[in-house]
Amino acid sequence: MEFHHDDQDFIPETSLVLSEKQALLDLNATFTTPSHTNPAMAYLMSLGSKRSRQTMGSFLTIVAKMIGFSSLKNCQWGALRRHHIQAIIDMLSDANKAPATINTYLAALKGVALEAWALKQMDTESYQHIRQVKSVRGSRLPKGRALTSHEIHALFKSCENDNSSKGLRDAAILSVLLGCGLRRSEIVAINYEHIQFRDHAFLVRGKGNKERMSYMPDDTWDRVQLWIDEIRGTLDGPLFTRIRRFDDVTNERITDQAIYYILETRQQESGIDKFAPHDLRRTFASAMLDNGEDIVTVKDAMGHASIMTTQRYDRRGDDRLRKAARHLRF
């Protein structure tokens, strides 16, 4: 498949079977903990979004297998100790995982330890020792890229050349991704009644169940209106819907994966380099900053809790370094 995921942090369990350290981690997988007393399940339920639960759940499943259990549900989390955590960190480092990825594992394990302590499955001293494990230092170059204006034009041209209903729908979706910087999960959750017509905006519910207003550029507004006027209609319900074979427009909400497939199709039709769906969000952030918007405004537009998160989406630095290098003469 030409198109690629951003899921570079997923680690197959086979890459982590390091026998020397495995001996340190055997906690004896001989029982199943009921879900209501399972520290890992309690931790996952405390997370604010489905995506976070999926991500951390997959990380904890990997850890459970690293320490000799078949799943996070039958892992004896209350028996974890500081030396287990340190060994897990060493194994992840040996597998060449990025510091940020390792620290995400560490955050999950500390969260599970807190729940184990709350459930009286871990003593206070052991929990405090785990709490004090320090984060891994270091960094990696940011993943992903911003699309060029030529690539963006080619994607829209692919939609324009499609005379079916999908052409108008996909152009509107692409325009919302680029013009509003929304996440795929946020786009699929938008209903017609979430449109603020006077302000040319969407009422968006993002991570952490936080609502924000997402304002559309004129081109985005025009494409969304064209999809509504020509194809969708004005009934309440999902804004972007599934279109079956033979141009059968349904009222079924599209999914995250459907948007992935739409972008994959348009990328292949336009002949541009492969990109991840999240690169459109990076493109939005870079364009906003390049237009002189302050980073706090961009943070709010993207629904980020931290400016540091927004800074990681800025891809302008690569272009500046590239141009500077081209000006050198020896």
Coil vs helix vs strand at 200: coil
DSSP state string for 60-85 = HHHHHHHTT-SSGGG--GGG--HHHH
Q: Which of 65, 97, 304, 315 is catalytic?
A: 304
Is 183 a residue of the active site?
A: yes
Give first-to-last CA distance, the chain, whole Å.
43
Rg (CA), the chain: 23
Alpha helices in the chain (DSSP H): 19-25, 39-46, 50-66, 82-94, 99-118, 124-131, 149-160, 165-180, 184-188, 218-227, 256-270, 278-290, 295-302, 307-311, 316-326
CA distances from 138 to 86, 99, 100, 306 (A): 17, 6, 8, 19
Is 304 a residue of the active site?
A: yes
- Rounded to whole angstroms, how far apart are CA atoms 283 and 18? 40
Q: Which of 183, 184, 282, 299 is catalytic?
A: 183
CA distances from 269 to 58, 265, 276 (A): 33, 6, 16
Is 53 a residue of the active site?
A: no
Q: Which of 43, 105, 127, 313 is catalytic?
A: 313
Coil vs helix vs strand at 87: helix
Is 299 a residue of the active site?
A: no
DSSP state string for 263-279 = HHHHHHHHTPPP--THH
Is 83 a residue of the active site?
A: no
Q: Which of 73, 129, 278, 312 is catalytic?
A: 278
Q: Which of 207, 242, 253, 312 is catalytic?
A: 207
Q: Which of 266, 281, 299, 315 is catalytic?
A: 281
List residues with catalytic annotation: 183, 207, 278, 281, 304, 313
